[in-house]
Amino acid sequence: MSTPGTRREFLYGLGSSLGAVAMSDLLAREGVGAGPLAPKPAMHEPRAKACIMLFMEGGPGHMDTFDPKPRLTELHKKESKLTRGLETGFKFFVGSPFKFRKVGQSGIEMCDQWKHLADPVVADELCNYRGCQAESLNHPEALFHMNTGSRLGADPALGAWANYGLGTLNENLPGYVVMTELAMPQGGPGNWSNGFLPAHYQGTRLRPAGSPILDLSSPAFKDRRHLRRTLDELAFLNQKHGAEHPGHGDLAARMESYELAYRMQMTVPEVVDLESES
Amino acid sequence: MRAIRPVRHALVLAGTLVVSLSLSPAAEEQGARLFALKVFPLLKEKCFACHGEDPGKVEGKLNLLSLEGMLRGGENSQRVLVAGRPKQSDLYRAITWEDGELEMPPKENDRLSEIQVALVRDWIAAGAPWPDEKTRRRYLVAERAVAVTEDGEIFRTSGGLSEEWTYRRYRPADLWALRPVAVGAVPGEEHPIDAFLDSRRKEAGFEAAEQADPLTLVRRATYDLLGLPPTPDEVAIFRKAWREDQEKAWGALIDRLLGSPHYGERWAQHWLDVARYADTGGYSNDYERSNAWRYRDYVIRAFNEDKPYDRFVIEQLAGDELADASVRRRLGITGNKLQQLRLNGNYTAEEREWLVATGFLRMGPWDNAMVKAPEARQIYLDDVVSSVGQTFLATNLRCAKCHDHKFDPIPTRDYYRFYAAFAGTQMAERKVPFLPEENLKRFEEGRLQVKRLLSFATQRKNSIKEKQETAAKAWFTERKLPYLPEQKRRNLPDEEKPPRHVGLDHVDQGRLKVREQDEWIWTRRLERYEPMIQGVYNGPDLPQKGNRARKMRIAGTPDRNWRPESVIYSGGALEAPGESVNPGVLSGCGVPVEGSTDRDPYRIGEELEGRRLALAKWIADPRNPLTTRVIVNRIWQHHFGKGLAGNSNNFGAKGSRPTHPVLLDWLAADFVENGWTFKRMHRLIMTSRAYRQAGDHREMKALRGKDPNNELLAYFPPRRFTAEELRDTLLVATGELNRTLGGLPIRPEINREVALAPRMIQFSIAPAWQPSRTPAERNRRTIYAYRVRGLPDPFLDLFNQPNPNDSCEARHSAAVTPQAFTLLNSDVMTDRSIALALRLQGEARGLEQQIELAFQLVLGRSPDAVEQERLQAYVGDMRDYHRRGKIERDRFPTRVTRSLVEELSGKPFDYEEILPVFENYVADRKPADVPPVTRALADLALLLFNSNEFLYLY
């Protein structure tokens, strides 16, 4: 079997019944993905094309990296009478061990530890928003707050909103992808959930070890030929069923998801293979 | 220059242009009224803050608080107001944003709507009359005296923080759920549900769908009531009975299903979705709530016993108060004696059941780590208020925590009165002996396993401590000082004692912390086997020491005189306490609290005991317009896929309005009249023709165009299995399901990577997921699966089991690609497919019979000739394929190495976690355990399990 070149060839050329059903659907949709993840016209013309959010919990604080606090420096080692925190005993202020300087044409401030970021080529592309305030002392609530806007952890995440608002052009990957460390962050999947938005908009976690998406690969004793054959039989059964229930819209979407799964098996490992990055 | 009439005050007219108008008195009156009712409040809302309210900072030096100010103008304009000439007035031009230079208010979000701009225009055109405050007041009072105008309806409540809110007008249709339930006449001779549905459907010009075929009907009914498939025998019996007498067969089917104990399991699941059941506490520690399962079983029992809903409500909200009242009656004790009894749990069976029911109030996520006590308390109480509002009243009370509700007639005062009703409620793990109905099997084996994990942690901890103390001894010896053990030297100054972790490197320190944490965790988990509940009691707020969530107990000696200080927190902030409030109910429902006075019919008494009982009785009052509509709507939803009111947790202005309001009210009234029972309501719904319709319609295309959401219910809506139905059905098909009811949560096998992946909790990594040791334990119904807030079961999560941190009014069922991966490739599905294959081989001879049986077990029918032929070929090919292939045996690890960063040094260390369950684990049969021919049959099983026909119910 030669590798089909285009998506249409792939489905049409199989001689399987799935092809016929999905084909008409495809033609109606004119190419790029459809359904709830289809790219949508935005309410306001966005200037951004994509969003990559690097959320690095547990790193050094803002006062040591990008947000100099001159008053804090003055108060270094002086006693603190503040009562807001939970500490007991003798309390004192601790200034940053680092010095700050302005870099680039914009004069953005950063501590003297940054070398590459301080290069004007990079620094002048940066914009610092120093207005965020957290409200929680503890990890999960703070994580939820940063990722979803609510400390309670049941709201849609930023990525879910972006996915909802803009859709995706990529037919072979989920619209909202989450790459975590090996350990799940505190709070777990509540940090990339769809909340009250429909389930399509949730983040799909690409796992750093093992299979990038849960169960992406077939069990070791079943190869891709086995899968293709199985999907063909599945298409036969589903097509028959679909013909008996013509009004039922979900059936076609489910059938399509199997073909997407088949494609993703090939593309996802490529995407997460950092060795091939230049 | 002439004065403008009918203004009565002096004008400063320097530098302004005044046009004289000849308006009729009526027109002037209208202009003045327009100003008083619409324009002045608009100016106040949009302009005054920057233009006059703060005398120290008047933007553009333009003061808009008075007519003089407007006419005087400011820095940027001398022609702010030209009476009679809106287009020449800069005020008007600024608010239209057409000027480019002048755009007011400056933020796009605050911009006036077209209607609002028109109001200002009309006012200026009418001569810009500015009646004095007394006159304006007169207009307001007159306007407010009329309840319903074209502007909407004023709705009486206990009053907002501002008059504007109190007297705002609502769209009357938005207040539908607050009107008393009205019993309408049934429009026709037939079944009341059909009568109501038919009348709307016929108006739209559509006929009903045909009746569904018997296979579809028996599956639909069995899934709706039990969440399980009918067995082939049950299908055959039903079909035979159906051929003889349809009505009789249907009635008998419903009776049998309602009499099954699996009914309670199914309908409890719906309730637990709303109540947010889980076996852990969430947030950073995700502590186990070791006895939550007793609440889950309470709910199952409640449904099986057909407990009237009003009792169900009261028991969950005030079961402890009921129990205490019963004890007082029974034994005549109060005060300290009663407190003693609370502590030792000497309750009757009935009282114990009531106490278990209060687990409802413990179903929200909660952990006070790193949060100050008053705030943690507020988080809990807000959670309870919000949950009670959504669950029983379909009302979003949380919106009123910070201000008067933006859309519904719920003043923030009412939120805080509701809050005050709970303000004496304290969380506690309480001693409540087991009931005879509770399933206590497997306690001994479970306890042994927990003890094993506990002793491992303790051993490792002790050996590190020994190392530490050996070094400590050396330290003392070197200084010729007597040795002091750790506890004794703890409070000495630094010079007189060795460093805290003397003799330990960062690896030891890291491991020590982990082992101490583990010791705590496993000690606490022994509570699973204790006669305790996750419950509540009434008592004073306690000073917080450390993390209360670790251990919550009833306070030893109650302060009888303590009362919570209940106030309205402005903006929801503890730092901004406002007006004091008494405990009370929602004033907008128009239903008084039992025993209250006319002066404040919505007030609950201030005794610490009895507040929740009063609130619960008010909710369960048959006159409460929300309660009864809410529950019948939920019952309807779980039969027809969607409620008559589409948002079951929100009957407010922003929720969907009912498609058949008269039917909804009729059902609510019928529910109450006949004892508030569920089983009767199921019968009523399921005996309607509408419920027995087919899922297809001859005019489907036209219907989809005119009624895309099937509001008319002209055909029966198909749906996909829920996560629990899917797993339970797989286990029934394979013959693996253990149908035992109730008891400790079990652990199915979940994806291995997920089970062993490190999951951060406070200070450490959570214990790995160890599945239950034997298939019989693992293969229980899904409602019994251990539910962890921080770690959803990936299989169930994929099929839209909801996040238990939020009340779920209705499940999603989107088809997403990861579902395809899991259904095809996961170990869970591989195991089920092997199990089915083994069953086929055990119960049928020859491939043809095996395919026949597979279809019967999975799809409930026989394959046709084409399917037989194709699938025989498929299985044959798969046999060849598997014969050629090699397969490796899987191993279960009994230990896993974990890696963490030690907190103080920042250096990584690792430690070992044992997984003792795998030492004598009874695994499911795996692919490597069976011959190729079985694996080929398993491929067939997997195929059927992945098919649309399997996953969808019609």
Question: For the segment B85-137, what is each residue's pLDDT rounded down to a tens digit?
Answer: 999 999 999 999 887 778 999 988 899 999 999 999 999 999 999 999 999 99
Q: Has residue B43 got a pLDDT over 50?
A: yes
Query: Hey, of A197, A254, A267, which one would you mutate to test binding to chain B, going by the most B CBs within 10 A of its CB?
Result: A254
How far from the centroid of its chain's Cα atoms is residue A259's Cα?
A: 22
Measured between CA atoms, how close is B792 to chain A, in angstroms?
Answer: 8
Give residue B328's pLDDT.
95
Cα separation of B824 and A218, whole Å?
Answer: 7
Contact across the interface for B792 and A253, Cβ inside 8 Å: no
Q: Has residue B17 got a pLDDT over 60?
A: no
In the predicted model, what is the mean pLDDT of residues B72-80? Answer: 89
- Asked whether B638 and B713 are in contact (CB, 8 A), the reply is no
Contact across the interface for A261 and B820, Cβ inside 8 Å: yes
Q: Which residue among B367, B765, B943 sits closest to A230, beta carbon to beta carbon?
A: B943
Residue B213 DSSP one-character state = P
End-to-end Cα, chain A, rounded Å: 32
A positions 111-170 inside 8 Å of B (CB): 136-141, 152-154
Q: Which residue among B282, B372, B701 sits closest to A86, beta carbon to beta carbon?
A: B372
Contact across the interface for B881 and A226, Cβ inside 8 Å: yes
Give residue A150's pLDDT.
85
Peptide bond into B105 cis (omega under 30): yes
**Cβ of A104 under 8 Å from any chain B Cβ?**
no
Q: Which of B276, B279, B258 is nearest to B267 (CA)?
A: B258
Give residue A40's pLDDT.
67
Contact across the interface for B751 and A215, Cβ inside 8 Å: yes
Task: Label residues B825-859 b or e (16+ Cβ within 10 Å = b).
Answer: bbbbbbbbbbbbbbbbbeebeebeebbbbbbbbbb
Helix H segments across B162-213?
A: 163-166, 192-203
Three-state DSSP at B287 gives: coil
A positions 56-95 inside 8 Å of B (CB): 86
B positions 659-718 inside 8 Å of A (CB): 695-697, 700-701, 704, 715, 718
Residue B897 burial by CB count (10 A; 0-12/13-18/19+): exposed, middle or buried? exposed
Give residue A37's pLDDT.
63
Contact across the interface for A221 and B806, Cβ inside 8 Å: no
Q: What tokens does B945 get?
A: 């399990």
Chain A with chain B: Cβ pairs closer than 8 A: 194
Question: For the segment B585-606, what is each residue's pLDDT rounded down to a tens digit?
Answer: 999 999 999 999 889 999 999 9
Rounded to a whole number, what is the largest CA-CA distance in chain A? 79
In the predicted model, what is the mean pLDDT of residues B302-330? Answer: 97
Query: Which of A73-87, B4-18, B679-693, B882-896 reaches the highest mean pLDDT?
Result: B679-693
Q: Which of B626, B638, B633 is nearest to B660 (CA)?
A: B633
Question: For the segment B547-577, what is each residue's pLDDT rounded down to a tens digit?
Answer: 788 889 998 677 788 999 999 999 999 999 9
When pLDDT is cut at 50, 70 and 90, the band that residue B645 belongs to is very high
Q: Which amino acid is at B897?
A: T
Cα separation of A255 and B157, whole Å?
Answer: 53
Peptide bond into B6 cis (omega under 30): yes
**Cβ of B886 under 8 Å from any chain A Cβ?**
yes
Lowest mean pLDDT among A2-16, A182-196, B348-362, B653-667: A2-16
Give residue B8's pLDDT.
41
Cα separation of A125 and B500, whole Å?
Answer: 48
Measured between CA atoms, how close is A61 to chain B, in angstroms?
Answer: 15
Give residue A263's pLDDT.
87
Give residue A251's pLDDT.
85
Cα separation of A29 and A11, whole Å?
Answer: 15
Q: Which residue among B715, B790, B821 sits closest to A216, beta carbon to beta carbon?
A: B821
> Could you tell me where the beta strands, DSSP code E, fall in A80-212?
100-103, 108-111, 177-179, 204-206
What are the angstrom distances between the C-alpha of B479 and each of B257, B482, B486? 80, 9, 17
A positions 213-232 inside 8 Å of B (CB): 213-221, 226-227, 229-230
Q: Which residue among A183, A213, A241 sits closest to B818, beta carbon to beta carbon?
A: A213
Cα separation of B761 and B568, whole Å?
Answer: 35
SS3 content of chain A, % helix, strand, coil (to 5): 40, 5, 55
Three-state DSSP at B842 gives: helix
Mean pLDDT of all residues belonging to chain B: 93
Give residue A250's pLDDT.
80
Q: Has residue B453 got a pLDDT over 50?
A: yes
Q: Which of B642, B824, B664 is nearest to B718 (CA)?
A: B642
Report the share of chain B in percent with pLDDT over 70.
Answer: 97
**Cβ of B865 under 8 Å from any chain A Cβ?**
no
**Cβ of B794 under 8 Å from any chain A Cβ?**
yes
Give residue A173's pLDDT.
75
**Cβ of A204 under 8 Å from any chain B Cβ?**
yes
Chain A residue with CA closest to B753: the answer is A210
Contact across the interface for B695 and A214, Cβ inside 8 Å: no
Contacts of B887 in chain A (CB under 8 A): 220-221
Lowest mean pLDDT among B222-226, B759-763, B770-774, B823-827: B759-763
Three-state DSSP at A110 gives: strand
Task: Label residues B614-625 b or e (16+ Cβ within 10 Å = b).
Answer: bbbbbbbbeebb
Beta-carbon count within 10 A of B184 CB? 12
End-to-end Cα, chain B, rounded Å: 81
CA atoms within 13 A of residue B607's CA, in its CB half-sphere: 7
What are the angstrom distances between the C-alpha of B210 and each of B213, B553, B694, B717? 9, 59, 6, 13
Query: Hey, of A16, A204, A233, which one would you mutate to test binding to chain B, going by the most B CBs within 10 A of its CB?
Result: A233
Strands B764-765 and B760-761 come out as antiparallel
Give residue A203's pLDDT.
84
Domain regions of chain A by residue span: 7-31+212-276, 68-127
**Cβ of B878 under 8 Å from any chain A Cβ?**
yes
Domain regions of chain B by residue span: 25-145, 179-208+625-719, 212-260, 308-434+531-619, 443-529, 723-953
Strands A177-179 and A204-206 come out as parallel
Q: What tokens does B35 get?
A: 């100003």
- The interface predicted TM-score of the complex, written ipTM, equals 0.85
Give residue B21's pLDDT.
61
Contacts of B830 in chain A (CB under 8 A): 219
In the predicted model, what is the mean pLDDT of residues A90-103? Answer: 93
In the predicted model, what is the mean pLDDT of residues B10-21? Answer: 47
Report the share of chain A in percent with pLDDT over 90.
Answer: 29
Backbone φ and ψ for B711, nearest 5 degrees, come out as -65, -30
Lowest mean pLDDT among A121-125, B74-78, B833-837: B74-78
Q: Which of B37, B41, B44, B32 is nearest to B8 (CA)?
A: B32
**Cβ of A251 under 8 Å from any chain B Cβ?**
yes
**Cβ of B378 under 8 Å from any chain A Cβ?**
no
Q: What tokens does A42 get?
A: 């935005």
Contacts of A233 in chain B (CB under 8 A): 870-871, 874, 943
Give residue A255's pLDDT.
87
Cα separation of B365 and B534, whole Å?
Answer: 13
In the predicted model, what is the mean pLDDT of residues B816-831? Answer: 92
When pLDDT is cut at 50, 70 and 90, the band that residue B144 belongs to is very high
Give residue B13's pLDDT.
44
Residue A117 burial by CB count (10 A; 0-12/13-18/19+): exposed, middle or buried? middle
Give residue A141's pLDDT.
82
Q: Which residue among B284, B805, B813 sits closest to A139, beta carbon to beta carbon?
A: B284
Q: Tokens 């506490």 sit at which residue?
A: B281
Ordered strands of the B148-149 beta sheet? B148-149, B152-154, B169-170
Lowest mean pLDDT among A167-171, B640-644, B679-683: A167-171
Contact across the interface for A219 and B790, Cβ inside 8 Å: no
In the predicted model, what is the mean pLDDT of residues B792-817? Answer: 90
B368 or B193, greater pLDDT: B193
Query: Hey, of B396, B548, B760, which one would you mutate to test binding to chain A, going by the most A CBs within 10 A of its CB?
Result: B760
What are the angstrom distances between the C-alpha of B306 and each of B302, B323, B676, B825? 6, 21, 9, 41
In the predicted model, what is the mean pLDDT of residues A112-118? Answer: 94
**Cβ of B365 under 8 Å from any chain A Cβ?**
yes
When pLDDT is cut at 50, 70 and 90, the band that residue B502 belongs to is very high
Lowest mean pLDDT among B181-185, B382-386, B409-413, B728-732: B181-185
> Containing H/E element for B257?
helix B246-258
Cα separation of B573 and B404, whole Å?
Answer: 14
> Could you tell me where the beta strands, DSSP code E, fall in B644-736?
719-720
- Asked whether A193 and A221 are in contact (CB, 8 A), the reply is no
Report the share of chain B in percent with pLDDT over 90.
Answer: 84
Lowest mean pLDDT among A33-37, A137-141, B488-492: A33-37
Q: Which amino acid is at B641?
A: G
> Containing H/E element for B444?
helix B443-478
Contact across the interface for A261 and B870, Cβ inside 8 Å: no
Contacts of A148 in chain B (CB under 8 A): none
Contact across the interface for B927 and A219, Cβ inside 8 Å: yes
| C-alpha Rg value of chain A to the nearest Å | 25
A217 or B403, greater pLDDT: B403
Contact across the interface for B283 and A140, Cβ inside 8 Å: yes
Contacts of B813 in chain A (CB under 8 A): 199, 250
Contact across the interface for A154 and B806, Cβ inside 8 Å: yes
- Asked whether B827 and B752 are in contact (CB, 8 A), the reply is yes
Give residue A30's pLDDT.
35
Contact across the interface for A214 and B821, Cβ inside 8 Å: yes
Q: Which residue among A86, A183, A255 sits closest to B370, beta carbon to beta carbon?
A: A86
Cα separation of A80 and B416, whole Å?
Answer: 36
Contacts of B824 in chain A (CB under 8 A): 215, 218, 227, 230, 258, 261
Give residue B200's pLDDT.
94
Q: Has residue B214 got a pLDDT over 80?
A: yes
Give residue A2's pLDDT.
42
Task: Label residues B338-367 b or e (16+ Cβ within 10 Å = b).
Answer: bbebbbebebeeebbbbbbbbbbbbbbbbb
Chain A residue with CA closest to B805: the answer is A154
In the predicted model, what is the mean pLDDT of residues B270-291? Answer: 95
Measured between CA atoms, how close is B806 to chain A, in angstroms?
Answer: 6
Q: What tokens does B371 get?
A: 């949060």
| Helices vs strands, H then E, count in chain A | 8, 4
Lowest mean pLDDT among A159-168, B312-321, B474-483, B834-843: A159-168
Torsion (CA) B282, B288, B294, B298 in degrees, nearest 10 = 10
